[in-house]
Amino acid sequence: MFVPEHHAGMIRLIVNADDLGSSQSRDRGIFKAFAEGIVTSASLLANGPSFASAAAEARTCNLPVGVHLNLSEGKALSGPVGGLTDASGNFPGKTGLRQLPGSSLPDGKGIRRELLAQIERVGAAGLVPDHLDTHQHCLLIPHLTEAIIEAAIASGITALRLPLPAEPVSGEVPEGLTSELDYYRACAPAVCRALRKHRLWSPDGLWGMPLLNRLDITTLTATLKQIPVGTWELMVHPGYADAGDPFGGPEREVELTALTTPSILDLIKTRDIRLTSFGACRCAC
């Protein structure tokens, strides 16, 4: 069982906005939540439709960014990958990715090439990524874990998200998410051991996984009141509604409101939660 590392009575919290670069509506919400709310960093999709403008704005406002490694949605940057993409380089979707052969990678060299291409594109945009995380938590897929760790080491990025749900197992979970959370909890300990083996850093766990599409002022307040001593990450998805984005419904704006509301900022101060980033935590270790 994984036991979180404690940090001299402190609560350190990285509030990371996922999917920067997926759409301009999403990006505007993330930058607002960083400027006016509690978001401290974001994960950038190197193959996202709005990558270029998102990267430029991140440089302008000094938003700490990581690379949101993506092997499931959109198109590969490095061209077709045997057994993973179609002939045009399109990724297979979340379900297709999880159905890859369990014993080995279909094209290990191709997957590693694609991971490095995504990291290199973020760097070429003038950004210095301070962490890696994986779209739809594909780090937890056993035969991808080592490839992602190798990409981290090769690129000199020593902090990664640990997709270990921090909420109590007995907590309220929306219908349909129970099996997902069970999957995350089953796979995360092995990933944690692999990260430690390679001296890679990660937070103690990830809050917000059961709050997908239902993070509002009430659920965010309850979550912030639960977080114990340690160094943690809170995963969030703020944005503005976008009819052209399958994940761009009104829930994005509800989440944005929660992350920028004064009562949330006050609660952070009352609990003496130290808002931080992956880079700041890694440097402090």
Active-site residues, by number, are 18
- 76: amino acid identity, one letter: A
Instruction: Determine the 3-state secondary structure of 266 from DSSP.
Output: helix
Residues 107-139: b if buried by 16+ CB within 10 A, e if exposed = bbebbbbbbbbbbebbeebebebbbbbbbbbbb
Provide the pairing of β-strand 273-276 with 11-20: parallel
Q: Which residue(s) pair with 158 in the sheet?
A: none
Residue in this structure with the two tokens 């909890």, named with its chain if needed: 185
CA 92, 235, 108, 110 torsion-angle sign: positive
Provide the pairing of β-strand 65-69 with 41-44: parallel
Per-residue tokens: 283: 């440097």
The answer to whether residues 111 and 151 touch, using CB atoms and an 8 Å cutoff, is no
What's the rounded Cα separation, in Å, for the pair 68 and 235? Answer: 12
Instruction: Determine the 3-state secondary structure of 82 from DSSP.
Output: coil
What's the rounded Cα separation, in Å, for the pair 45 and 18? Answer: 9
Instruction: Determine the 3-state secondary structure of 89 from DSSP.
Output: coil
- For residue 136, the 8-state DSSP code is G
CA 59, 60, 62, 64 torsion-angle sign: negative
- Return the number of other C-beta atoms located less than 10 Å from residue 271's C-beta: 13
